[in-house]
Structure 1
Amino acid sequence: MRLKLLSPGEMSPEQKSTYDESIASKRGRPPPPMMAWLNSPEMAKHATRLGAFLRFDTVFEAKLSEIAILVTARHWSSHYEWYAHKRLALKGGMDPKIIDDIRDRRVPKFDDPKGQLIYEVAKSLHEGHGLSKRLYDDAIKTLGERGVVEIIGLCGYYTMVSMTLNTFEFELPEGEVSELL
């Protein structure tokens, strides 16, 4: 870890307010990158609120949101993010084979056309920096405008999360080993 993370007793009132808000949220605890973001308390407050919305309140069930998050974690080779969201994806009912395929950079086979499109949109955003007309049209038809906007939000937010975790070298919990090469 490259950064000293503050304990609640070391936080300014503004930092502590954001920290307390995260504990009172659906998460029940502060997300690890927020602890780094607290160095910019206003950013931490807004980023944490955005993250809570994207994690819990999009139009997608958890299993579908986790596709975009795992694609993003894999794109950035964010070891901590992969570790955390693989567990959440499994808990949300994602097929372990899909998780393995994303990890190994193979194209997964989805039974659900929404899952397939979320995967394609996330991959295209990261690797192609946008969407082809065909992919855009298919995504709008299947996911709706709100769904496409929220996939973009998930990929963008979890890019920031991955960059934070990678830059400050957040470590996996003791005894855990990264699956990402």
Structure 2
Amino acid sequence: MRVRDLSPDEMNADQRSVAAEAAAGKRGRVPAPLRAWLHSPELGRRAQKLGEFIRYDTTLPPHLSELAILVTARYWTSHYEWYAHKREGLKAGIDPAIIATIAARREPAFPDPKAKLVHDYVKTLLAKGRVPDLLHAAAACMLGEQGVVELVGIVGYYTLVALTLNAFEIDLPEGESPELGD
């Protein structure tokens, strides 16, 4: 890891407060990127609160949220993000073949039109930084305006997570190996 991984004894009061707040929340633990963000406690506090909302409280069902996260993790080749959310995606009911196809950077065959739409929206947004009018209109029709806003929030937040994990080389848990190629 490129930034010191702080033990509780090394943390100042503000850092301890942020770590305790995260562990007491819906995650029940300190999320991996917070290990870096603790070096800026206010960033850590705000990011982990946003993350808790994005991860657990949007209007999108878990299988669509996890799909968006997996597409984002794959785009950034974020090994830790992929490791964590592949398991969550499977729990949410995403077909393992779809996950494997995303990992291979191929186009999955989606039986669910909402899942295909989320995949295409996220992939386009990441690749181009914009979404064409027709794709956006289809997303607003299928997910509602709030759903599209939250989908973009998921992509933005998990881009922050992916870049944090990548920049600071936060390792996978012991015994785990990267699953994504370049």
TM range (shorter): over 0.9
AA matched with 2:86: K
AA matched with 1:8: P
Instruction: Give the gaps of 5 or more residues in structure 1.
Output: none
Distance in 1 of aligned mates of 2:109 and 2:144 = 22
Distance in 2 of aligned mates of 1:176 and 1:30 = 19
List per-residue Cα deviations over 1:107-144 (Å, max 9, x = no partner). 11222221111111100110011110110110000011
Distance in 1 of aligned mates of 2:42 and 2:174 = 31
Map of 1:2 onto structure 2: 2
Shift of 1:13: 1.2
Map of 1:78 onto structure 2: 78
Count of paired positions? 181
List per-residue Cα deviations over 1:56-103 (Å, max 9, x = no partner). 001112111011100110000011111111011111111001101110
Secondary structure at the counterpart of residue 148 of structure 1? helix
AA matched with 2:12: S
Map of 1:45 onto structure 2: 45
Secondary structure at the counterpart of residue 10 of structure 1? coil
Secondary structure at the counterpart of residue 64 of structure 2? helix
Distance in 2 of aligned mates of 1:48 and 1:22 = 7
Distance in 2 of aligned mates of 1:8 and 1:81 = 24
AA matched with 2:65: S
User: 1:9-88 alignment to 2 at 5 Å?
Assistant: 9-88=9-88
Map of 1:158 onto structure 2: 158
AA matched with 2:88: L
Instruction: Give the gaps of 5 or more residues in structure 2.
Output: none
Distance in 1 of aligned mates of 2:170 and 2:64 = 26
Residue 149 (str. 1) matches residue 130 (str. 2): no
Higher deviation after alignment, 50-59 or 105-114: 105-114
Map of 1:95 onto structure 2: 95
RMSD: 0.9
Shift of 1:52: 0.5
AA matched with 1:84: A
Distance in 1 of aligned mates of 2:83 and 2:148 = 25
AA matched with 2:42: E
With normalisation by structure 2, the TM-score equals: 0.97
Distance in 1 of aligned mates of 2:15 and 2:171 = 22
Map of 2:111 onto structure 1: 111
